[in-house]
Amino acid sequence: MTTMTPDAGTQDEAAHEARFNATVAADERIEPRDWMPDAYRASLVRQIAQHAHSEIIGMQPEANWITRAPSLRRKAILIAKVQDEAGHGLYLYSAAETLGTGRDELLDRLHTGRQRYSSIFNYPTLTWADVGAVGWLVDGAAITNQVPLCRCSYGPYARAMVRICKEESFHQRQGYELLLALSQGTEAQHAMAQDAVNRWWWPSLMMFGPPDDESGHSTQSMAWRIKRHSNDELRQRFVDICVPQAKSLGLTLPDPDLSWDEEREHHTFGPIDWEEFREVLRGNGPCNEQRISQRRTAHEEGAWVREAAAEYAAKQVQQQRHTREEDIA
């Protein structure tokens, strides 16, 4: 985009910053061409990119079951869901692009391990029930995280999130419905559902990030209204939502310490294994290697296709120019 720039430099940095702070404080949105602090921009790029990467890496554990979906109805739902994730990745990459960092650059950072994606996707989907558990718990946790982002201070990110949240509501529902069918099905199906919930419960709780007292980026992000609630707050909200849902599914959550706290009016839950979280983050999860290598392969194997289309477009432009010159002559 080009800009008609009037006499720049009439206002000094401090005035810019004051205006930025006032806009954020008034709960108005910052838009791409507004002045913003470098750190705000960097923080947003990091967060949006990580979010975008999570969407496209997150396609893999579910796509893993497309060719084996046990009914045509479930198959259609799963294809549509994985497709949505690609779409959400695209919305988010374009939101990041408004901050001046292109998708190719961001993908490169992902492929070379310089940027992360949600570590939940480093866990494997071992049975069909995992598709349900991912929908119910992983998407459920994601939605809990994302709904407040619809009011994030950065306009393009907030707008992308509105669209994403609207579309994601079916993702969680289909997961719940899938698990319900299994839970109420044969003994083997019920066991499959319980096993999946057992494996996905704790990693889902880790999706909200480290406890508040250890979370590095939180305070500044809250001040900038990129983030609206603390990790622990959101995690608590999620647990409170899930407990009754698990009950109506006829499944249990794998936490012996889970209980209702009258005083706090919240569920108390057992300690999270943060060592596992850190290890997975460090690259030692069951699928880190596999996920990134599949992504890289798809990208590299697609290079000739992207080149071909770019080359074709260039030829067309040249041809048009040629024709135009001939017309003039």
Partner 1 sequence: MSPLPASAALALGDDALVLSHRLGEWAGYAPVLEEELALANISLDLLGQARILLSLVGDEDELAYLREERAFRNLQLVEQPRGDFAHTIARQLYFSSYQRLLYEELARGDDALAELASKAVKEVAYHRDHAEHWTLRLGDGTAESHQRMQQGLNALWRYTDEVFEPIEGLSVDWPTLRERWTEQIAHVLQQATLTMPSGPQGDAWTAGGGRQGVHTEPFGRMLAEMQHLHRSHPGAAW
Partner 2 sequence: MSTTDWPLWEVFVRSRRGLSHTHAGSLHAPDAAMALRNARDLYTRRSEGISIWVVPSTEITASSPDEKDSFFDPAADKPYRHPTFYEIPEGVRHL
Among 32, 37, 87, 270, binds partner 1 (CB under 8 A): 87
The stretch among 12-20, 116-124, 184-192, 239-247 that binds partner 1 (CB under 8 A) is 184-192
Q: Is 268 helix (H, G, I), strand (E, B) or coil?
A: strand
Confirm if 225 and 46 have CB atoms less than 8 A apart.
Answer: no
Distances (CA, A) of 228 to 3, 93, 222: 32, 22, 6
Torsion of CA 286, 292, 295, 300, to 10 degrees: -140
Least gap, CB of 185 to partner 2 (angstroms): 30
35 contact, one of partner 2, partner 1, none, CB 5-8 Å limit per kind = partner 2
- Dig out the tokens for 169 from the structure: 């509501």
215 CB contacts (<8 Å, ≥6 apart)?
Answer: 209, 230, 231
Cα distance between residue 315 and residue 311, in whole Å: 6
Least gap, CB of 295 to partner 1 (angstroms): 8
Among 22, 25, 28, 83, binds partner 2 (CB under 8 A): 83
**CB closer to partner 2, 63 vs 182:** 63
Cα distance between residue 59 and residue 64, in whole Å: 8
Among 160, 179, 196, 253, binds partner 2 (CB under 8 A): 160
Cα distance between residue 12 and residue 19, in whole Å: 11
90 interacts with partner 2 by CB under 8 A? yes
Taking residue 151's Cβ as centre, other Cβ atoms within 10 Å add up to 13
| Closest to 198 measured CA to CA, from 113, 278, 255 | 255
310 interacts with partner 2 by CB under 8 A? yes
Please give the residues from 13 up to 72 whose contact with partner 2 meets the rule CB under 8 A.
Answer: 31, 33-35
214 contact, one of partner 2, partner 1, none, CB 5-8 Å limit per kind = none
The stretch among 86-94, 241-249, 252-260, 274-282 that binds partner 2 (CB under 8 A) is 86-94
Least gap, CB of 161 to partner 2 (angstroms): 12
Among 311, 321, 322, 323, binds partner 1 (CB under 8 A): 311
Site track for partner 1 across 139-158, x = CB under 8 A: --------------------
Give the number of C-alpha atoms closer than 13 A to the C-alpha of residue 34, restricted to the C-beta side. 22
Query: Buried b vs exposed e over 27-42: b needs ≥16 C-beta within 10 Å?
Result: eebbeeeeebeeebee
**CB closer to partner 1, 42 vs 86:** 86
102 interacts with partner 2 by CB under 8 A? yes
Among 43, 50, 60, 144, binds partner 1 (CB under 8 A): 60
197 contact, one of partner 2, partner 1, none, CB 5-8 Å limit per kind = none
Least gap, CB of 118 to partner 2 (angstroms): 22
Among 41, 46, 79, 165, binds partner 1 (CB under 8 A): 79
83 interacts with partner 1 by CB under 8 A? yes
- Dig out the tokens for 322 from the structure: 């040629």
Cα distance between residue 73 and residue 180, in whole Å: 15
Confirm if 166 and 151 have CB atoms less than 8 A apart.
Answer: no
Distances (CA, A) of 182 to 187, 197, 201: 9, 12, 17
Interface positions with partner 2 (CB under 8 A): 1-6, 8, 11, 31, 33-35, 83, 87, 90-91, 94, 97-98, 102-104, 159-160, 163, 167, 303, 306-307, 309-313, 316
